[in-house]
């Protein structure tokens, strides 16, 4: 399951350096992870954790911020979404990877209680590698 979303970076979205606020990027990441996980679960989901966020390069006013969320791991009730963020410069056509993140969501029923989710279907080699990375992260976290 995947979701693609785009946002135009406007002056109110930026700091005094003319680059997008990290908190704004985090809000977009959380939103695309929620949409992606809800599509997979067929129900509402809630954010449990943002396991990692790596800010790799800045995005500036006028750039198009493109977010891609992909389900890469599922537990009994949890869904891990990998989110990749790129900045597209309209005038040059150049795309730059700006941020990567793993977000864990839990599916909930109408009473807000966790509910079971369908298992992830690994479709690409990259998905398989991300799936293995999440398994390793979970193992290290539970030590």
Task: List the CATH number of the domain containing 9.
Answer: 3.10.129.10
Q: What is the pLDDT of residue 77?
A: 96
Residue-by-residue pLDDT tens, the chain, 143 positions: 899 999 999 999 999 999 999 999 999 999 999 999 999 999 999 999 998 899 999 999 999 999 999 999 999 999 999 999 999 999 999 999 999 999 999 999 999 999 999 999 998 999 899 988 888 888 877 76
Tally of structural domains, the chain: 1
Please report, for the chain, how many H helices and E strands are present, in that order. 2, 5
Q: What is the pLDDT of residue 143?
A: 66
Residue with tokens 């930026």: 14
Residues spanned by the domain of 17: 2-141
Q: Single out the residue of 115, 104, 100 nearest to residue 71, CA to CA.
A: 104
How far, rounded to the nearest angstrom, does the alpha carbon of residue 22 sit from its chain's CA centroid? 14
pTM across the whole model = 0.92
Q: What is the pLDDT of residue 34?
A: 98
**C-alpha pair distances (Å), 57 with each of 3, 79, 82, 118:** 22, 27, 18, 35
């Amino acid at each position: 399951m995947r979701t693609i979303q785009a946002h135009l970076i406007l002056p109110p979205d930026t700091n005094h350096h003319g680059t997008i606020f990290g908190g704004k990027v985090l809000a977009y990441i959380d939103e695309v992870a929620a949409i992606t996980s809800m599509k997979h679960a067929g129900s509402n989901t809630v954010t449990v954790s943002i396991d990692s966020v790596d800010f790799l390069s800045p995005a500036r006013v006028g750039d198009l911020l493109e977010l891609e969320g992909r389900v890469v791991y599922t537990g009994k009730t949890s869904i891990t979404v990998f989110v990749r963020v790129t900045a597209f410069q309209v005038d040059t056509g150049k795309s730059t990877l700006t941020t990567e993140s793993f977000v864990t969501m839990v599916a909930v029923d109408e009473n807000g209680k966790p509910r079971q989710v369908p298992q992830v279907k690994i479709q690409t080699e990259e998905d398989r590698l991300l799936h293995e990375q999440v398994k390793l992260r979970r193992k290290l976290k539970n030590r």
